[in-house]
Amino acid sequence: MKKILSEKIIRIIKNKLNLEKELNVKIDITGKEISITGEPEDEYLAEKVIEAIDFGFPISDALSIKKEESLFEILNIKDCTNQKDFERVRGRVIGKDGKALKTLSNLSNCYIELSGNKLGIIGESECIRNVEEACKLLIKGSKHANVYAYLEKHRIEPIEDLGLKEEKKIRKNSKIKKQ
The answer to whether position 163 is within a domain reads no
Q: Is the pLDDT of residue 104 over 80?
A: yes
Q: Is the pLDDT of residue 179 over 50?
A: no
- For 7-46, the pLDDT digits (tens) are 878 888 888 898 888 888 998 888 888 888 988 888 888 8
Same domain, 90 and 15: no
Are 76 and 126 part of one and the same domain?
A: yes
CATH number at residue 115: 3.30.1370.10
- The pTM of this model reads 0.78
Residue 167 within any structural domain of the chain = no
Same domain, 121 and 80: yes
Q: How many whole angstroms separate alpha carbon 113 and alpha carbon 55?
A: 8
| Rounded average pLDDT over 109-114 | 90
104 and 51 share one domain: no
Structural domain including 91 reads: 67-157
Q: What is the per-residue pLDDT for 166?
A: 54
Confidence (pLDDT) at 178: 47
- At residue 113, what are phi and psi to the nearest 5 degrees? -135, 145
Residue 170 pLDDT exceeds 50: no
Same-domain status, 71 and 58: no
pLDDT per residue over 120-163, tens digit each? 999 988 888 999 999 999 988 889 899 899 888 888 776 676 66
Together in a domain, 96 and 120: yes
Same domain, 11 and 91: no
pLDDT at residue 171 in the model:
46
Domain tally, the chain? 2
Establish if 175 belongs to a structural domain. Answer: no
CA distance linking residue 168 with residue 4, whole number of Å: 45
**81 and 50 inside one domain:** no
Distance CA 140, CA 52 (A): 26
- Whether 22 and 88 share a structural domain: no
| Within-domain flag for 179 | no
Q: What sections of 25-98 are H helices per DSSP?
A: 40-55, 59-63, 86-94
Boundary residue ending a domain (65, 86, 112):
65
In a domain? residue 142 = yes
Instruction: Give the per-residue pLDDT at 146.
Output: 92
Maximal C-alpha separation, the chain: 75
Quickly count helices (H) and strands (E) in the chain. 9, 6
Residue 60 domain flag: yes
